[in-house]
Amino acid sequence: MNPLNSPLLRGIALILTAIALFDVMAAIIKYMGASYSPQQLSMFRCFFGVFPAIALLFVSRDWHRSGRPIKMRQWPLGLLRGLFVAIAQFCYYTSLANLEFALAATLTFAGPLFVTGLSVPVLKAKVGLWRWIAVLIGFTGLVMIMQPGTDIFTFYVLLPLCAAFGYASSSVSVKLIDDGVPTPTINLYATAGALAGAVFFVLVTDAYRAVGSAEDWMWLFAMGLAGGLAVFSLVSAYRQTAPSNLAPFEYFGIPLSFAIGWLVFGETPFDRLVPGVFLIVAGGIIIFWRERYHADRI
């Protein structure tokens, strides 16, 4: 077999594509945040993201082999995962409008720390000493970046952490869904739940504003398409090889977000991110290493 066509390399290419698309989506959100509320942007992100979710369903071999199921026994949990995503989107999009791009993006990489912590009460998982040390290291990095007790510590700096917690809740709860349910079906329910949650937030906060121009519609469509394709690429990547082989590559998003913040928005929060960002990455990599270590021993 051609080594350049191996499942691992395909998975790496797809995960890097997903991370790049997520950062493109976030950059559009930050740009459009001057004109539209985070709730409304989340609603459009989810609406336009439905189309890639449906596409993922129809190209999935597992879905066709399973008889093309649409119904899911645990449908309330499937939709609840989407609500977690809607809450995470609201928090993240609000932070993008009020923080430096790289700062908001970097703080969301607390996700693996929250996944580790949530796996204990939700999945009854046993977390060893190494992973708890990793959580402590990553948490130390977060504190160094947020700098509580100083003038630069604001409410908005907590929002990316809330977003990371919401995304982590969605990731952990997917483990509670029956193994036989195809991944695209699960993804479709989550997308529908996120859209319903985003619409609800818009309605209760009266945050809708009429889209002002064809150019704005183009940006909103591009935002939703980038986000939907990012999810498509992410799911496809993790179908190529074990998650532990790919998860460290997600940190490619940190230097990419810094580059986008610098080149597009003229932001250089280097002094604030270093050295805390290295501790966050170190904590995440230790967690992935231990997961792979235990998987290899099974």
DSSP string, 49-96: HHHHHHHHHHH-HHHHHTT-----TTHHHHHHHHHHHHHHHHHHHHHH
* pLDDT for the residue numbered 243: 63
**Across the chain, how many H-helices and E-strands are there?**
14, 0
Total domains, the chain: 1
Rounded distance, CA 230 to CA 211, Å? Answer: 24
Ramachandran region, residue 149 (left: φ > 0; alpha: ψ -120 to 50; beta: rest): left
Q: Is the peptide bond before 275 cis (omega within 30 degrees of 0)?
A: yes
CB 153 within 8 A of CB 164: no
**Alpha carbon distances (Å) from 160 to 17, 94, 107, 111:** 22, 9, 6, 10
pLDDT at residue 8, rounded to an integer: 76
257-283 per-residue burial string, b: 16 or more CB within 10 A, e: under 16: bbebbbeeeebebeebbeebbebbbeb
Q: Which of 188, 214, 220, 205 minimizes the C-alpha distance to 85?
A: 188
- Quick one: pLDDT at residue 258? 92
Q: Whole-angstrom Cα distance, residue 202 to residue 86?
A: 11
How buried is 230 (Cβ within 10 angstroms: 0-12 exposed, 13-18 middle, 19+ buried)?
A: buried
Q: What is the pTM of this model?
A: 0.88
* C-alpha of 26 from chain center: 11
Closest listed residue to residue 225, CA positions, set 95, 50, 63, 29: 50
Amino acid at 136: L
Closest CA to 96 of 278, 290, 257, 270: 257
pLDDT of residue 184: 82
pLDDT (tens place) for every residue of the chain, 298 residues total: 455 567 878 888 888 998 999 999 999 999 999 899 999 999 999 998 888 888 878 888 878 888 888 888 889 999 999 999 999 999 999 999 999 999 999 999 888 888 888 888 887 877 788 888 888 998 898 888 888 887 778 889 999 999 999 988 988 888 888 888 888 888 889 999 999 999 999 999 988 888 889 999 999 999 988 988 888 787 777 767 766 677 778 888 889 999 999 999 999 888 888 888 989 888 888 887 777 666 655 5
Range of the domain at 117: 3-297
Task: Work out the widest C-alpha separation in the chain, in whole angstroms.
Answer: 57
